[in-house]
Amino acid sequence: MPLMPLTVKQAVSRRRGQVLVGPVDLTLTPEGVTIVIGPNGSGKTSLLRMLHGIARLNAGTIDWACPLEEAREKQAFVFQTPVMMRRSVRDNLAYPLLLGGTPKQEARNKAEHWAEKVGLGNFLTRQATVLSGGERQKLAIARALIRDPEVLFLDEPCAALDGRAMREVEEILQTAAKGGTRLVMSTHNMGQARRLATEVVFMLNGKIHECAPAATFFETPSTPQAHAFLRGDIVE
């Protein structure tokens, strides 16, 4: 069964009694790149974690087009600070395949293929923990994509990267999107949002303040808060 659309109704996530995000209503269609933006503390990360299922849903509903167990198998998440296992680049890439029952040699071959795709082909035997920040993020994205997820969530994957590393990561993501992977990603970089987004979700105070096609949002945002944010003003 197809994974999308994703339908969210009055969803709320709390931690220790504090509302992190919600209530929110949102529908994500099967195609495109949704970029989530907003001031620091606006709920971007919490929204992504709630949609992916790693933050508790305390109220409302999040409904995929297929059963939940199947939906969990068809998505992946890349954190702002990637977690590297104390293993080689090859073994880091092969690990999710081995967990899913892929034969060892097939997993190693696919790992080598993905290392080449993201520019890490010369680092197959290098310990992942000694890679640079950009190399780690490329490895984390490749490790998420190696299982061919239908949806990939990314929480500010380029926040700590320089321009060159950011360009390389964006190229990987654009290739994935063209190949049919649905991307839902937060960023604080408006240039990146303009380059990648087909749809923008603007978060403010834990709620979805505005959701619109990228061209519409960047050219004619519908609220004063969105106008102010795009000007670089402080928005509370």
- pLDDT digits 0-9 by tens, 154-203: 999 988 788 888 899 899 999 999 999 999 999 999 999 999 999 999 99
Range 126-150 average pLDDT: 93
pLDDT, position 82: 86
Range 73-99 average pLDDT: 93
**What is residue 188's DSSP assignment?**
S
Which listed CATH number (3.40.50.720, 2.60.40.420, 3.10.130.10, 3.40.50.300) goes with 6-80+151-158+178-231?
3.40.50.300
* Domain locations along the chain: 6-80+151-158+178-231
Give me 128's structure tokens: 């992942």
Give me 77's structure tokens: 């998440």
pLDDT, position 235: 85
Please report the sign of the dihedral spanned by the C-alpha atoms of residue 206, residue 211, residue 217, residue 220: negative
- Cis check for the bond before 67: say yes or no (omega within 30 of 0): no
pLDDT digits (tens, 9 = 90+) for 25-77: 999 999 999 999 999 999 999 999 999 999 999 999 999 999 999 999 999 99
